[in-house]
């Protein structure tokens, strides 16, 4: 198994290196849209196995007091190798000066995030506009 390289930002990444993500989404964004959302995020950490992106985490932030982590994913075949944990650790280090760092997750992932130092804070609320994924 090759060594994983972690990188902040998307410089040098192509859409072609972003295949296989958004597993289980009703209409997965294309690799091109994926690259676009990475570029538009306030902060990004990607995990690379050679030229291939195998995991990523994004943050949207005002960079004054708060940040939100909307997306974290590791390709199915690369899960369970510590990549997801390392992505979150690196993102949390990047955001260490902020007061609020929030994310929403399913109940089964609570122990994963608790191991990384997060705690339960209130209830997540949201909207899922499937039409937006068809654009």
Ligand X SMILES: CC(C)(COP(=O)(O)OP(=O)(O)OC[C@H]1O[C@@H](n2cnc3c(N)ncnc32)[C@H](O)[C@@H]1OP(=O)(O)O)[C@@H](O)C(=O)NCCC(=O)NCCS
User: Which CB sits closer to ligand X, 64 or 121?
Assistant: 121
CB closest to ligand X, residue no: 84
Q: Count of CB atoms within 10 A of residue 104's CB?
A: 12
Kindly identify the residues of this chain, within the stretch 109-128, that bind ligand X according to CB under 6 A: 109, 112
Kindly identify the residues of this chain, within the stretch 32-91, that bind ligand X according to CB under 6 A: 72-74, 79-85
CB of 109: closest distance to ligand X in angstroms? Answer: 5
Torsions phi, psi of 29, nearest 5? -60, 145
Helices (H), 3-75: 31-40
Number of H helices, E strands in the chain: 4, 6
Binding residues for ligand X (CB under 6 A): 72-74, 79-85, 103, 105, 108-109, 112
């Amino acid at each position: 198994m090759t060594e994983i390289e972690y990188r902040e930002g998307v410089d040098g990444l192509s859409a072609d290196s972003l295949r296989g993500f958004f597993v289980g989404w009703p209409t997965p964004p294309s690799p091109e849209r994926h690259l676009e959302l990475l570029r538009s995020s306030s902060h990004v950490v990607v995990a690379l196995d050679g030229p291939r992106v195998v995991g990523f985490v994004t943050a949207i932030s005002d960079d004054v007091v708060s940040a939100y982590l909307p997306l974290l994913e590791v390709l199915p075949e690369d899960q369970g190798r510590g990549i997801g944990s390392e992505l979150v650790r690196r993102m949390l280090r990047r955001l260490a000066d902020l007061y609020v760092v929030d994310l929403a997750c399913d109940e089964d992932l609570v122990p994963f995030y608790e191991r990384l130092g997060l705690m339960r804070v209130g209830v997540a609320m949201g909207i899922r506009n499937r039409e937006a994924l068809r654009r």
